[in-house]
Structure 1
Amino acid sequence: IKSSARREEHCCQRTKMDLEDAPQEDPDAGLSVGTVHAAFILSAAVAVALTFGKDLIKGKLSTNSDVGGQTPQFKAFQRTYLTVYLLMMAGDWLQGPYMYALYDAYGFKHEEIAALFVAGFGSSMLFGTVAGSLADTLGRKRGALAYVVVYAASCVTKHWRSYEVLMFGRVLGGIATSLLFSVFDSWLVAEHASRGFEPAWLSTTFANAQAGNSIVAILSGVFGEWIAGTTPMRVLVAGSTGGEDAAPDGAIMWGGYCLPFDAAAVFLLIGGFVIMTTWNENYGDTKQSSGADGLRESLTKGLLLLARDRRVLLVGLVCSCFEAAMYAFVFEWTPALTAANAPRPPYGEIFAAMMLCCAAGTRLFGFLAESRGPEDFARPLFVVASLFLLAPVVAPSNYVLALVAFLLFEGVVGCYFPALGTLKSKIVPDAQRSTIYNIFRVPLNVLVLLVLLSKLPTQTVFAVSALLLLSAAILQHMLFAAMRGHADV
């Protein structure tokens, strides 16, 4: 879930805005701390039950058993991939909660900060497809290493109290995000096939990756908060005015909110070392030309495939609709759970509960996949998800109902990623996989930019998100019907 809009970015934004002219608080209004504690405990219980319940009922835990006949070679391969993937995601999660806070601490206005966020999504839309095509042509391992270098460079720019440098960093971040959500999946699917592993085992890797990602998100939040508080932010190299508390002046800063970005860069570089020493290279269409001709050829083939194969187009539209709704939720869950005249609820604990529900959703995927294909069970899940996001629309003052609905929605999100990862691995040809995955992100980024720039009220955003999820359900049903006519899937 990737990705680059993150669940607590908006928390910082809303907190800053609400501090101004805040009305007198009513302790009985809004979400109480006790309610959030209860939600966290229940979320943890559900996650534990779905993770271990089945094995406990059978009287054993599946620690080293060969689930589904999986070989030791496959398990070693899976561990290597998950190590890299989770290091990459840690590098991503560490940045999200502190992006807005850092810009605000540098003295930028709300409108300027909003433009920085728009730049990230815009660069992902404009340059992401090109980056994905280059990865197919030049190699997915090289693409993964490019992600490490580009995202680490984006982290370094956060030390400059300069709008131009930070804007450049956001452009780099947008490019890196496109690589994160295309190159790694593409490498995994191709390498899994080239090593002769059973195709059915691929879904377990996607499910474990998503479950691990939820845990990494929680740990990154705790670690990031700790490291940001270890030392205050200070000027390392003076800018044009030389003052400690000066307005944006080009000074190079150190400490405080810069430290989570430094930690992210360290995790990225460690992951890059593991990639260099353990990964094989794999490619898309090896018959393509190299350089600019190869790039054009890859893009052309990708677009022709979308026009020719209805299943590829449908799975891309499903991804765009669902993930656009998910990103809108990322931006708006904080104000939807915040009463104007009440103390702010513990956002960090709410976020942790959401990630626990997301982890539980990945286990739910495992249960559902035992009896039905993801192209089938995803349809009702999307419908139910749309109902969850209608809670703030039909009962905007019922914060407990909204919290429960949001936690259930995160459960669907946890099930969505391994389900669609499995579907895309079946439908999208390996030759143009990275290219196609990034083409999918173009309508997604357009939808997200529309939400960012339209300044719609919170209730309207949730209503639009529910419609997007219903659209995803309809498109998923069309995909299910299309796949029934293809014996190879």
Structure 2
Amino acid sequence: MDVAEITMLAIGGATCLLLMMYSESGIVLCGVTTKSGSSVKTLILQDREPTASMAPATGEIAAQAMMDGEMAHEDWISQAAPRAKPMLSPDQKVTNLLLLEESDRAKYTAFKYKYLGAFLTAMFADWMKGAYIYALYSRHYNYDMTEIGQLFIAGFGSSLIFGTYVGSLTDRIGRKATCRLYCILYILACILKNWRDFRLLLLGRVLAGVSTSILYTGFESWAISEFNHLNLPYKLLRDLFQKATFYNALTAIVAGFTADFIARTWSLVAPFNAAIIPLSVSFLVIQLTWRENYGNQTATVNDNLHKAVEAMMRDKKILYTGMISGLFEGVMYVFVFMWTPALEESKADVSHGSVFAVFMVWKMAGSYVFTVATEVLKAHEFARVVFAIAAGTMLVPVFLTGVTEGSAYLLLFVAFCLYECCIGMYFPTISMMRSRFIDDDIRSTTMNLFRVPLNILVMLTLVKVGDMSQELVFLICAVGLLVSSYALEKVCAMYAAEGPSTDRSVHAN
């Protein structure tokens, strides 16, 4: 690692640690329990006041008095956390001050581990094989760029065509069943990597494309539906998606080093075979711990697709959320292809593993920026900042003409780290937006329709990337993010005009 990489790793790590400490200190557990009949209640103040700012004895007395009905909410806030009072308007008291049953905390903890256990092991397998697909095709099987391009296009094309129908099928046959199907299809895709036959590799890419659609829609659809079924406070969903993003980035680092060790010890196909292990673990966690939930079971696949399109036309917030999701994530996939040649053009000896690890640290930091920022802003309002920074980072490679090689690498590396931070902020943000706006009956169907512009953008880039300069590719990415920003402004304006009454989530507030 050179000085720039070490510096950005230190800054990203320190940012992540400080925000983590600040975020965790912002949830004040009073440590007071009272018995009301047979239930045990614990008071949680979800605000930004650290425990050091309150006198424990006063806080405990106030909490006890409020639970006994002897003190109003505003008096509790005044005595227990006086500096928090100006932040609360009358209609915010219920959302910032939650009286949780002990059973609710237990339900949320169990639910969180069930979801993250299955999701993160599935992502671990995806990260393991992701770094070696191109190397496997080019170095291990000696295919040329044209053939490799065809294989990649087949993957995104199958996600575009078949993934859309799988999303509709998910709402009908159940999210648990479909997530198990993801594990099975991905295991088959990994097994097919063991043969050089182009037709088998092509089939493997088709299966992987369908699986990827399930990974990025089925798991989230199950989580939101199950969360609603458990009737938990809505703000805990924010915590779930932040944790998913944070640990997904950490999983990527561990999976990357694991796959690197396996590839060096055995062969380039070995990481794909090893990925079968976490996929099997994910399957077992889903099978043994998840409850099945559904969308509209009576509708046909085409009915669900028709209803999803109707919903987008009827409620433009859903349509614009789809634009945001498709364009941002499409740009993200293009960035995955482009960051390596962009950095290599300004520096000969790029340490790809080290750079990737630094990127993931900044993504982890971004997930905690989301947690802190959304204490005072709604997710779609906070996304304005995310998209502005992301678009700015994509413009950096466009304006580097005439910059010396060393300075160009530093500017690119810093810009790309900030972009990864934006990705860390984006994923929990868009998950919260989707949870608010999409009807649960057609959630998976709608989310897969959101992936249509994503797949089209990536396929066009793969077809035309050889004819375009890097500067033009990054300029297109910046334009895509600016269009996403326009769609976001539309969502914010409509949400402000209509109010939270239009939220699809049963817990939205």
Distance 2:371 2:308 in 1: 31
Task: Map 1:168-247 to 2 at 5 A.
Answer: 168-231=203-266
Cα 1:481–1:227 change in 2 (3 A) is: same
Whole-angstrom CA distance in 1 between matches of 2:343 and 2:476: 18
Deviates more, 1:211-220 or 1:343-352: 343-352
Structure 1 unaligned spans of 5+: 1-31, 232-255
1:452 aligns with 2:457: no
- Match of 1:148, SS? helix
**Aligned partners of 1:428 and 1:349: how far apart in 2?**
39
C-alpha distance in 2 between matches for 1:58 and 1:471: 36
Q: Give the TM-score, by structure 2 length.
A: 0.81
Q: Post-superposition shift, 1:325?
A: 1.5
Q: Aligned pair 1:463/2:498, yes or no?
A: no
**Structure 2 residue 52 is the aligned partner of structure 1 residue 52:** no
Q: Give how far 1:482 is off.
A: 1.0
Query: Which ranges in structure 2 are unaligned for 5 or more consecutive residues?
Result: 32-41, 47-99, 504-509
CA distance in 2, matches of 1:84, 1:177: 15
Higher mean displacement: 36-45 or 212-221: 36-45
Q: What corresponds to 2:415 in structure 1? A: 405
Whether the 8 Å contact between 2:28 and 2:44 is mirrored in structure 1 is no
What is the CA deviation profile of residues 276-319 of structure 1, one whole-angstrom value per residue up to 9, with x for unaligned ones?
A: 11001110013x24xxxx11111111111111111110100011
- CA deviations 1:404-432 (Å, max 9, x no partner) are 01101111110000001001000000000
Tell me the residue number matched to 1:37. 6
Say if 1:33 and 1:345, in contact at 8 Å, map to a contact too: no
8 Å contact 2:23–2:372 — kept in the other structure? no
Q: Which residue of 1 aligns with 2:53?
A: none
The secondary structure found in structure 1 opposite 2:348 is: coil
CA–CA distance in 2 between the matches of 1:187 and 1:258? 32
Shift in Å, 1:487: 3.1
Map of 1:425 onto structure 2:
435
State which structure, 1 or 2, has the greater radius of gyration over its C-alpha atoms.
Answer: 2
Give distance in 2, aligned partners of 1:269 and 1:333. 32
Aligned to 1:331: 337
Question: What is the Cα deviation at residue 486 of structure 1?
Answer: 3.3
Residue 132 of structure 1: how far off its partner (Å)? 0.6
Counterpart of 1:279?
290
Give the alignment of 1:283-322 within 5 angstroms: 283-286=294-297, 288-289=298-299, 294-322=300-328
Which residue identity is paired with 1:34?
V
Higher helix share: 2
1:163 partnered with 2:198: yes
Work out whether residues 40 and 350 of structure 1, in 8 Å CA contact, stay in contact via their aligned partners in 2.
Answer: no
What residue is the counterpart of 1:360 in the other structure? Answer: 365
Identity of aligned residues (%): 34
Moved over 4 A (4+): 53-60, 64-70
| Residues 162/362 of structure 1: CA separation in 2 closer, same or farther (3 Å cut) | same
Q: What is the CA-CA distance between 1:59 and the residue it aligns to? A: 12
> Does the aligned pair in 2 maintain the 1:86–1:212 contact within 8 Å?
yes
1:86-145 deviation line (CA, Å, top 9, x unaligned)? 001001100111101111111111211111111100100010110011110011111101
Find the counterpart in structure 1 of residue 172 from structure 2. Answer: 137
For the residues of structure 1 that align with 2:28 and 2:214, how far apart are their CA atoms?
Answer: 43
1:37, distance to aligned residue in structure 2 (A): 2.2
The Cα shift of 1:33 comes to 2.1
**For residues 78 and 207 of structure 1, what CA distance do their matches in structure 2 show?**
11
Deviation by residue 1:11-63 (Cα, 9 ceiling, x = unmatched): xxxxxxxxxxxxxxxxxxxxx82322222222222222221245579999x9x
The corresponding residue for 1:122 is: 157
Structure 1's 278 and 65: CA in aligned 2 closer, same or farther, altered over 3 A?
farther
More deviation, 45-54/272-281: 45-54
Q: Which amino acid aligns with 2:375?
A: E
Distance 1:464 1:427 in 2: 28
TM-superposed CA distance for 1:434, in Å, is 0.4
Once the two structures are superposed, residues 342-370 of structure 1 have per-residue CA deviations (whole angstroms, 9 ceiling, x without a partner) of 53211111110010000000000001110
CA distance in 2 between partners of 1:180 and 1:102 (Å): 23
1:20 alignment partner in structure 2: none
Higher relative contact order (CA 8 A, sep 6+): 1
1:374 paired residue among 379, 386, 389:
379
Q: In structure 2, what is the Cα distance between the partners aligned to 1:158 and 1:283? A: 33
State the 1:67 CA deviation: 7.5
Structure 1 counterpart SS, 2:500: coil
Q: Does the 8 A contact of 2:397 with 2:474 survive in 1? A: yes
Partners of 1:145 and 1:65 in 2: how far apart?
A: 38
8 Å contact kept, 2:189–2:208: yes
Q: For residues 181 and 65 of structure 1, what CA distance do their matches in structure 2 show?
A: 35
Aligned mates of 1:357, 1:445 — CA distance in 2: 26
Summarize the Cα distance change of 1:307–1:58 in structure 2 as closer, same or farther, 3 Å threshold: closer
Q: Are positions 1:476 and 2:488 aligned together? A: yes
Asked if 1 retains the 8 angstrom alpha-carbon contact of 2:107 and 2:230, the reply is: no
Give distance in 2, aligned partners of 1:480 and 1:229.
49
Residues in 2 aligned to 1:420 and 1:330: alpha-carbon distance in whole angstroms: 20
Q: Using the alignment, how far apart are the partners of 1:431 and 1:443 within structure 2? A: 22
Aligned CA distance change for structure 1 residues 309 and 165 (closer, same or farther; 3 Å): same
SS at match of 1:338: helix
User: Relative to 1, partners in 2 of residues 1:65 and 1:51: Cα closer, same or farther, differing over 3 Å?
Assistant: farther
CA distance in 1, matches of 2:331, 2:239: 26
Secondary structure (helix, strand or coil) at the match of 1:191 reads helix
For 2:450 and 2:128, the matched residues in 1 are separated by: 26
Are 1:47 and 1:357, in contact at CA under 8 Å, matched by a contact in 2? yes
Number of paired residues?
426
- Paired residues of 1:379 and 1:474 also in contact (CA < 8 A): no
Contact 2:396 2:415 in 1 (8 A): yes
1:389 lines up with 2:388 in the alignment? no
Q: Which amino acid aligns with 1:403?
A: F
For the Cα contact (< 8 Å) 1:36–1:346, is it kept in 2?
Answer: no
